[in-house]
Structure 1
């Protein structure tokens, strides 16, 4: 059998298996939990608890106090220069720090900044996960990976309890989404926890209470 025919045989088998799998999906039992039992306050409490367990810094704010809280979080460790997505709300671009608006900044320019500030698309309380869909107020994925510090602003109304509830809210999420559960860290090598391997070492989250 030639290399070309061997390759075709493998592809044919994959195609046949895939078609067979798609036809049987309707018969797969889906007995997992689809909806959590917590109310909005419970989801907020659990989200905060999980994030802090991971080592993230979490504060709450009203919309009116948000600019002042942003200043406090950005200046807490002497940081001065930050990357911002192109459509970050103007009132979040506080004058107390220096901003670099991402209009295709180079990797070197991004790494030169002390951190990044973004919005978010959702939060999953059960796992303490923040979801970025990388829209105009969340920015390109690269700006949330290279800086050492990430300040993420999450609305309380964006928090759901379980992952199935997130997918119910976003039945067709974008092909590129980032799921953040705490600061970047790994313990793959000799069980020693190393921070910042594949993203920011420091994560700060402001949870904003929606105005009624």
Structure 2
């Protein structure tokens, strides 16, 4: 005998919309002819993220300055070793760091990025080797993310099209963790890093 739960799930699986879903054109921002790098920077600053510029040659210096005061610097398994000159703790697949270790005072995590969306000021991490497990960017108090200028897209559709594998677990980051109560009192760090620093880097 079919249970009510099984019947409902069967209906959900077989349901097909009668009309196609379309997104109104005026809902999507027109960024034609606009510098998407500057749009992303503007959005990140508005979200109270720290924004820094670098080229490939100066990336280690910029990163070193941002993590200098950290008690521990954690990196995902595939982060290029030449990015950081100082000691780091690498999150290994065979011996992953615990939540308690990542939540300790003074921990900074440094990651790469899969793609960035200028229109929304959003960074997308997809658990690639230079980004690691989702917990790495969600638990430590300070997150430093490196975004190459050629990873920046104008809007959401273009960003999703750039993902190597949309089935990977995605983390969407729009500024440091923040929430507001009914009186609009802003509180940071409740459900993620209180500090987000983004390095906009140019290759070559």
* Aligned partner of 2:4 among 9, 34, 42: 9
Partner secondary structure for residue 21 of structure 1: coil
1:149-207 CA deviation, whole Å, 9 max, x = no partner? 00000000000011111122238513410000000010135422110011100000001
TM (norm. structure 1) is: 0.84
Whether the aligned pair in 2 keeps the contact of 1:34 and 1:165 (CA below 8 Å) is no
Q: 1: CA distance between counterparts of 2:29 and 2:165?
A: 18
Whether the aligned pair in 2 keeps the contact of 1:119 and 1:138 (CA below 8 Å) is yes
Q: 1: CA distance between counterparts of 2:90 and 2:163?
A: 28
| Corresponding position of 2:99 | 107
TM (norm. structure 2) is: 0.87
**Paired residue total:** 199
Q: 2: CA distance between counterparts of 1:130 and 1:186?
A: 18
1:17-48 CA deviation, whole Å, 9 max, x = no partner? 542325x36x3334446784345x71000000
Unaligned 5+ runs, structure 2: none
| Corresponding position of 2:43 | 50
Unaligned 5+ runs, structure 1: none
* Aligned partner of 1:21 among 16, 21, 24: 16
Q: 2: CA distance between counterparts of 1:68 and 1:44?
A: 21
- Note the aligned Cα RMSD (angstroms): 2.2
Deviation at 1:119, TM superposition (A): 0.3
Q: 1: CA distance between counterparts of 2:164 and 2:97?
A: 32
Superposed counterparts of 1:60-99, under 5 Å: 60-75=53-68, 78-95=69-86, 98-99=87-88
